Amino acid sequence: MYDYLIVGAGLYGATAARQLTDAGKTVLVIDKRNHIAGNVYTEKVEGIHFHKYGAHIFHTNNAEVWNYVQRFAPFNRFTNSPVANYKGELFSLPFNMYTFNKMWGVVTPEEAALKIAEQRKEITNRPQNLEEQAISLVGRDIYEKLIKGYTEKQWGRDCKNLPAFIIKRLPVRLTFDNNYFDALYQGIPVGGYTKMVENMLSGIEVRLGVDFLEHKDEVMAQVRKVIYTGSIDAFYRFSLGTLEYRSVRFENEILDIPNFQGNAAVNYTDRETPWTRIIEHKWFEFGKDENGNDLPKTIISKEYSSEWKSGDEPYYPINDEKNGVLYAKYRVLAEQEKDVVFGGRLGEYKYYDMDQVIAAALQKSREMLKC
Ligand code: UDP
């Protein structure tokens, strides 16, 4: 009998497994996939750490979490500065003086601020949805060219029907600073995320290719507690209804050229281009292999967003009102469980970043060890 069964070998599961094991508990980790690391999984292709489930850039303001991950991997100095491509016109992201200069020809922060102030006048109330929030942050021109098309492709919903908080993830700056994240600490684990998670799970029993939900009742009888990081609605066999998610599909290509787009991420912000962004993986590690040599080939991934349906991988919870109401009902069931803890993006139906997932798992592990 194990003290804990951890369902899912992603960042939440790996963090909880590490903490509980180090506190002397017996832990078994299972995952239905045939690899660890969940959606942060990387594999080496042509000498490049390929982010199979999409780009992951670690960033945080939480010193505890930053120190924690350093135990499992050294991090490089990668700073995310995506470029937006709107019908062939390129803009710097996030929204900063380079963006405002290209959009309006303004040169000083004062001019940029005036332009934004003028354009945000159309929003007179407190923003009620993503469209109003975006216009009130950066004005209509930027909304139309850099936000509307991208957001509607990514979420498959009108910006008027999306929650305002999504766009608040992006900084708006009156400085020449293309760093996408307002984070004190940022980087990519050298050697890949898979290696980092492998180090987190070192000495811990992991069984891959095991579908918990298929064997739920028998498995739960053999363990004291379960930490479940899959979708909460799937856990309850969708008995109250199905929560909505966005899924992502990638078209990957290995190209026999050294440089396709000169940047890790280019966002296609118009409505017509069918993909939302193209990732060129080698630039997460500056185009070099571990010995510092230039890599001759490159790998790119075109990212397409779609509505999740059974059989797809869920990536993004859709935190709108309707799903919020349904999630709250599942939450009531979850709170009645004495021996099951739900964690992570899918377990908590929350648009978590990696650092928030680790922070939540550290916190939960502490609580569990207290009782
Ligand atoms: N966003 C946008 N234009 C961009 C990049 C992002 O409008 O070029 C908006 C969009 O609504 C998106 C949100 O900002 O859903 C958050 O983007 P982020 O890059 O944080 O999303 P993730 O990397 O998690 O997919």
From 137, 167, 197, the end of a domain falls on 167
CATH number, domain with residue 337: 3.40.50.720
Q: Is the CB of 154 under 6 A from ligand 1?
A: yes
For the chain, state the CA radius of gyration. 22
Task: Decide: 220 in ligand 1 pocket, CB within 6 A.
Answer: no
Question: Sorting pLDDT into bands at 50, 70 and 90, what band is 364?
Answer: very high
Contact yes or no for 21/27 (Cβ under 8 A): yes
Tens digits of residue pLDDT in 317-326: 998 899 999 9
Distance (angstroms) between ligand 1 centre and the Cα of 151 equals: 7
**Cβ of 138 less than 6 Å from ligand 1:** no
Same domain, 211 and 350: yes
pLDDT tens digits, 15-54: 999 999 999 999 999 999 999 999 999 999 999 999 999 9
Q: Would you state the pLDDT for residue 14?
A: 99
Supply the residues annotated as catalytic.
169, 173, 246, 277, 303, 351, 353
Average pLDDT, the chain: 97
What is the separation of C-alpha 77 from the centre of its chain, rounded to a whole number of angstroms? 19
Is residue 49 in a domain?
yes
Distance 62 CA to ligand 1 centre (A): 22
With the most atoms of ligand 1 within 8 angstroms of its CB, the residue from 147, 263, 353 to mutate is 147
200 pocket-lining for ligand 1 (C-beta < 6 Å):
no
In 141-289, DSSP assigns E strands to 185-187, 205-208, 223-228, 245-255, 265-268, 277-280
- Please indicate, yes or no, whether residues 114 and 26 belong to a single structural domain of this protein: no
Per-residue H/E/C for 127-177 = CCCHHHHHHHHHCHHHHHHHHHHHHHHHHCCCHHHCCHHHHHHCCECCCCC
Alpha carbons 359 and 367: distance in angstroms, whole number: 12
Into how many domains does the chain fold?
2
Residues 6+ apart with CB under 8 A from 94: 170, 171, 172, 173, 178, 179, 180
Do 99 and 216 reside in the same domain of the chain?
no
Atom number, ligand 1, closest to the C-alpha of residue 180: 19
State which amino acid sits at residue 336: Q
Q: Is residue 268 part of a domain?
A: no
Residue nearest to atom 7 of ligand 1 (CA): 147
**How confident is the model over 86-112, as a mean pLDDT?**
98
Instruction: Report yes or no on 174 lying in a domain.
Output: no
Q: Whose CA is nearest to atom 20 of ligand 1?
A: 169
Determine contact, residues 76/65, Cβ cutoff 8 Å: no
Helix (H, G, I), strand (E, B) or coil at 39: helix
The closest-lying atom of ligand 1 relative to the alpha carbon of residue 147 is 7
Facing residues of 85 across strands?
90, 268
On whether the CB atoms of residues 231 and 243 are closer than 8 A, the answer is yes
CA-CA distance, 149 to 143, in Å (whole number)?
9
Whether 206 maps to a domain, the answer reads yes
- Report how far residue 141's alpha carbon sits from residue 156's, in angstroms, rounded to the nearest whole number: 21
For the Cβ of 169 lying below 6 angstroms from any atom of ligand 1, the answer is: yes
Do 90 and 225 lie in a common domain?
no
Is 266 a pocket residue for ligand 1 (Cβ < 6 Å)?
no
pLDDT at 169 over 90: no
Q: Which of 103, 169, 319, 352 to mutate to test the pocket of ligand 1 (most atoms within 8 A of CB)?
A: 169
Residue type, 120: R
Residue 137 and residue 232 share a domain: no
Report the pLDDT value the prediction gives residue 371, as an integer from 0 to 100.
Answer: 76
Answer for the pair 245, 314: CB distance below 8 angstroms, yes or no: yes
Are residues 74 and 87 both part of a single domain? no
Confirm whether 322 is domain-assigned: yes
Q: Say if residue 147 is in the same domain as residue 37.
A: no
Identity at 353, one-letter amino acid code: D
Residue 291 is assigned to a structural domain of this protein: no
Q: In degrees, to the nearest 5, what angle opens at C-alpha 247 toward C-alphas 227 and 55?
A: 85
What is the percent of the chain where pLDDT is above 90?
A: 97
Rounded to an integer, what distance in angstroms lies between the CA atom of residue 8 and that of residue 309?
A: 20
Task: Write the burial class of residue 207 (CB in 10 Å: 0-12 exposed, 13-18 middle, 19+ buried).
Answer: exposed
Same domain? For 160 and 189 the reply is no
DSSP structure string for 317-365: E--SHHHHHHHHHHHHHHHH-SSEEE-HHHHTT----HHHHHHHHHHHH
Report the 10 Å Cβ neighbour count for 228: 27
Q: Give me ligand 1 centre to Cα 5, in Å.
A: 34
| 51, 17: one domain | yes
The residue whose CA is least distant from atom 3 of ligand 1 is 147
Instruction: Give 32 Cα–ligand 1 centroid separation in angstroms.
Output: 29
Q: Is 116 in the pocket of ligand 1 (CB under 6 A)?
A: no
Backbone angles phi, psi at 11, to 5 degrees: -65, -40
- pLDDT value at 349 more than 90: yes
Is the distance from the beta carbon of residue 183 to the nearest atom of ligand 1 less than 6 Å? no
Please indicate, yes or no, whether residues 41 and 188 belong to a single structural domain of this protein: yes
Half-sphere exposure of 119 (CA within 13 A, CB side): 21
Percent of the chain with pLDDT over 70: 100
Residue 256 lies in a domain: no
Q: Do 11 and 154 lie in a common domain?
A: no
- Element holding 232 (H helix, E strand): helix 232-235
Task: Establish whether residue 99 lines the binding site of ligand 1, counting it when its CB lies within 6 angstroms of any ligand atom.
Answer: no
In whole angstroms, what is the distance from residue 309 CA to residue 186 CA?
33
Domain range enclosing 117: 83-167
Asked if the structure places residue 67 within a domain, the reply is: yes
57 plus 161 within the same structural domain: no
